Amino acid sequence: MKIKDGYVLRKVAENWVVLPVGKASVNLNGMLSLNESGVLLWQALKEESDRESLVNALLSAYEVSHDEAAADVDSFIASLVQYGCVDA
Amino acid sequence: MLCSISDLLVEVPAKGGLSSLCREYLADDSRVPDIIIRPEEYRYPTKITVPEETVAYMESGVQFYRGLLQYGGMMLHASAVAYGGKGFLFSGPCGVGKSTHTNLWKTVFGEDAVVFNDDKPALRRLDDKWFAYGTPWSGKNHINQNIKVPLAGICFLKQGEANQIRRLPSLEALQRILPQTLRKRLSPEEGSLLLCHIDRLILEVPVFELENRPEEAAVLLSYESMRRAAEDLGV
């Protein structure tokens, strides 16, 4: 999967935020706040990525178990699908 | 016709009723315009019929405020009042009482309080300072004046049973500002510029939320709180 076009990721006032513009702002009226691991996953998803590569990205950046990383990835993907940022 | 709006040279097409809206902003200048408004790029609604003048008003505004992003500026959906040489902006969703509140400033402060844009003032950062400007895009009553004032503060309104004001932390300020500025028509590059401007704005200009009743006491509360915070920040 991959993040659709029309999202801007930027640090504002010490917070990482995702701003939808153009058509993307129809699905998400406002913004998303991301934590550091969310930013890592978001950036990975700017390119086509599968679940396993995202889990591996978390494993190489943080000292977490495979199960914890997989759970993080699953909940992150679920949010992205819910807000329409990726194709399900 | 050439206009000077928020210290930018703007080429505005005279048709669609814009010539009368821009009367106060006409400029005589031989330089190349900073922003050129192109009627051929107006988007017309597909499902409903809208008068030509409404399309020209809305679409020229979209083009101007998109262009403004390239010059350290942005639009905020607000009623803007100038008093004591400074600008006070009252923002929030439609129907929250923005115009009602700034009209009450006129009741309290008389002719010294001037509503210089009742819908979409322009904000710009010049030489490390923020300014608010009147523009021809000022809502259905066309209440605007071509003036520039240092921006004292921004206040989001909320109807309530009592009058109380609080300073908004930066993340909350960002969350309030985003729905009240132009986003749907931006490119990702413009969206990035917008966030860059807001980042500075909320660091440099105090942002408040005023829960209020439509009465004069609310004006005294917003004015005193915003004036003091601006002075503390040296705005």
What ipTM does the predicted assembly reach? 0.88
According to the model, what pLDDT value does residue A75 have? 96
- Please give the Cα distance from B130 to B202 (Å, whole number): 11
- Average pLDDT over every residue of B157-161: 96
Are the beta carbons of B171 and A13 separated by less than 8 Å? yes
**Which pLDDT score, from 0 to 100, does residue B213 have?**
96
Distance from the Cα of B197 to chain A's closest Cα (Å) equals 9
**What pLDDT was estimated at residue A28?**
79
Task: Check if B200 contacts A (Cβ < 8 Å).
Answer: no
pLDDT at residue B31, as a whole number: 93
Q: Which residues contact B176 (CB under 8 A, 6 or more apart)?
A: B91, B156, B168, B207, B209
Closest residue on chain B to A4 (Cα): B188
- For B172, nearest residue in chain A (alpha carbons): A13
Question: With contacts defined as CB-CB under 8 Å, which chain B residues touch A28?
Answer: none
Quick check: B92 pLDDT over 80?
yes
Between chains, do A20 and B202 touch, taking CB under 8 Å as contact?
A: no
Q: What is the pLDDT of residue A27?
A: 77
Is B133 within 8 Å of B147 (Cβ atoms)?
yes
pLDDT at A88: 61
Taking CA–CA distances from A26, the nearest residue in chain B reads B184
Quick check: A25 and B175 CB within 8 A?
Answer: no
Locate B225 and state its tokens: 């709180």
Helix (H/G/I), strand (E/B), else coil: B166: strand
Is B179's CB within 8 Å of A30's CB?
A: yes
Q: What's the mean pLDDT in B111-125?
A: 98
Cβ partners under 8 Å of residue B190, min gap 6: A21, B66, B69
Contact B173 A25 (CB under 8 A): no
Running along chain A, 88 residues long, what does each successive block of 10 average in pLDDT? 94 94 84 95 96 96 96 96 86
Q: Strand, helix or coil at B47?
A: coil
pLDDT at A26: 81
Rounded CA separation B198/B190 (Å): 12
> Which residues 19-48 of chain A have a CB within 8 Å of chain B?
19-22, 25-26, 29-31, 33
Task: Return all residues near A21 (Cβ < 8 A) that are at least 6 apart.
Answer: A6, A7, A8, B183, B184, B186, B187, B188, B190, B191
pLDDT (tens digit per residue) in B26-72: 999 999 999 999 999 999 999 999 999 999 999 999 999 999 999 99
Of B185, B192, B203, the CB nearest to A8: B192
- DSSP letter at B32? P
Sheet strand arrangement including B35-36: B2-5, B8-11, B35-36
**Contact residues on chain A for B171, CB-CB shorter than 8 A:** 13, 15, 33
Name which of A11, A15, A21 is nearest B187 (Cβ-Cβ). Answer: A21
Q: What is the pLDDT of residue B163?
A: 98
